[in-house]
Amino acid sequence: MAIIHIGIGSNLGDRESHCDRALEEMKARGIRITKVSSRYETEPWGMREQPNFINMAVEAETDLSPEGLLAALKEIERTVGRRTTFLWGPRVIDLDILFYDDAIIDGACLRIPHPLLHTRSFVLLPLAEIAPGKMHPVLRKTVGQLKEERKSDEDAERKEQI
């Protein structure tokens, strides 16, 4: 059984209900959720002109392969109501594989760990709440360390804007 970490986000409609529905759909597909972070309201990343997100993270166990997990999460997104829009656009639900055990996968359709995980506070904040000691298998730093580094980067960015 693999230990996985999934990022969840929603910024359209009833954001909290969409996140709850995604959790229920994961359970219905045999993904055993073991930890759930708090929910965080965050500003959009990438394209700023859209509603704020609700973001959270979960830790779970699964017998699905990484590819099978990706397919299951895409199906859950469709079930919850996600429609294809554009890169970093608004969405009813977004489910991202952050980690799959300590796997490193660099394929055309699947990259694990998530390649932008360490640059996104909206991912690191909820993930650090449930898995601060999780080691990033590429960067060789814990999620807690990555969160602190990102916080330092954001503080420096704010100082430069003054």
Please choose, from the candidates 24, 26, 21, 25, the residue with its C-alpha nearest in 3D space to the C-alpha of residue 4.
Answer: 26
* Domain CATH number, residue 91: 3.30.70.560
Secondary structure class of 92 (helix, strand, coil)? coil
Percentage of the chain lying above the pLDDT 90 cut: 75
Please choose, from the candidates 22, 115, 20, 101, the residue with its C-alpha nearest in 3D space to the C-alpha of residue 66.
Answer: 101
Task: Please compute the mean of the pLDDT values over residues 65-75 and round it to a whole number.
Answer: 97
Residue 48 predicted with pLDDT over 80: no
* 78 belongs to the catalytic site: no
* 14 belongs to the catalytic site: no
Domain residues for the domain of 140 are 2-161
Which is catalytic among the residues 15, 21, 96, 150?
96
Which is catalytic among the residues 21, 91, 120, 150?
91
* 82 belongs to the catalytic site: yes
Residue 55 predicted with pLDDT over 50: yes
Secondary structure class of 18 (helix, strand, coil)? helix
pLDDT in tens, 113-161: 999 999 999 999 999 999 999 999 999 999 999 999 987 555 544 444 4
Q: Residue 71 contacts by C-beta under 8 Å, 6 or more apart in sequence?
A: none
* 96 belongs to the catalytic site: yes
pLDDT of residue 86: 53
Minimum mean pLDDT range among 22-36, 89-103, 123-137: 89-103
Structural domain total, the chain: 1
